[in-house]
Amino acid sequence: MAQKGLHIVGVPKTIDNDLYGTDQTFGFDSALASAAEAVDKIHTTAQSHHRVMIIEVMGRYAGWLALASGIAGGGDIILIPELPYQIEVICDKIKERNRKGKNFSIVVVGEGARPEGGEMVVKRKIETSPDQIRLGGISHQLASQIEGVTTLETRVTILGHLLRGGTPTAFDRILASRFGSEAVHLACKGEHGKMVALRGSEIGKISISEVAGKIRKVPLNSSLLKTAISLDTCLGVAEIPISSETEIAV
């Protein structure tokens, strides 16, 4: 629309936190709070029934929501699209926990996660939509694989659109207000074709042309990944290939 000459000022909104050019989108923190609370609640059942519990969260092609909620909720295994998983590594982690007397495991998986050499699970396609692919169901595939290797009962919870609703966090309310205020200022100054963005703790701007067609994925040198590893969280791979790549063209 901006290329067609319309006066556009954008604000970054998505729970997936995958928009290029901004450190965070509004909606992400609220969805993260809901996801972390769900992982907390699943812990009770997992521990009392000695089961492997898989929680599938949204996020599409980026693992921000799965990674952050897994760390916040104490997930034992976190699987994200950026790191195609190896089922043997996952099952070895579960068996190791059992040998140590921990007779349950929590697996947090992003909907875009996929096995090494495999494909993402596509729930359905909407032909009339500009973004036709609807992901979902990787958790059921994973549960079947885990049960087949470990013989442990594995249950699935798909959070789905539960993460998109509810009361926004105070952080998101403030961030959205800051974005909206700056967007109005840009429009009043005639600075069109821009998107407001969070850079560190400050609100800035970036050209929409720089943002279009890119996805902000979890970089493989992310401090969040390093934190997960330090907490002895299994990421489904034997070794992480360190990279600074942060976005892909779509």
| pLDDT tens per residue across span 163-172 | 998 899 999 9
Residue 135 lies in domain: 9-240
In a domain, 1, yes or no: no
Structural domain includes residue 17 = yes
pLDDT (average), residues 175-188: 97
Helices (H), 85-168: 87-99, 138-150
Report in angstroms the alpha-carbon separations of 198 from 64, 115, 179, 192, 212.
16, 33, 8, 18, 17
φ/ψ of 16, rounded to 5, equals: -75, -20
Residue 249 within any structural domain of the chain? no
pLDDT tens string 52-82: 999 999 999 999 999 999 999 999 999 999 9
Q: Which among 210, 206, 208, 190 has a CA at the least distance from the CA of 198?
A: 206
In a domain, 81, yes or no: yes
- Using DSSP's 3-state secondary structure scheme, residue 102 falls into coil
On the question of pLDDT at 109 being above 60, the answer is yes
Domain count, the chain: 1
Question: Residue 163 belongs to a domain with what CATH number?
Answer: 3.40.50.460
- Contact call for residues 242 and 221 (beta carbons, < 8 A): yes
The residue written with tokens 């996805």 in the block is 215
Segment 105-126 shows an average pLDDT of 88
Region 35-60: mean pLDDT is: 92
248 within some domain: no
More confident residue, 13 or 1: 13
pTM score, whole prediction = 0.90
Give the residue numbers marked as catalytic.
Answer: 16
Q: Tell me whether residue 3 is in a domain.
A: no
Assigned domain for 168 exists: yes
pLDDT exceeds cutoff 60 at 249: no
- The answer as to whether 2 is a domain residue is no
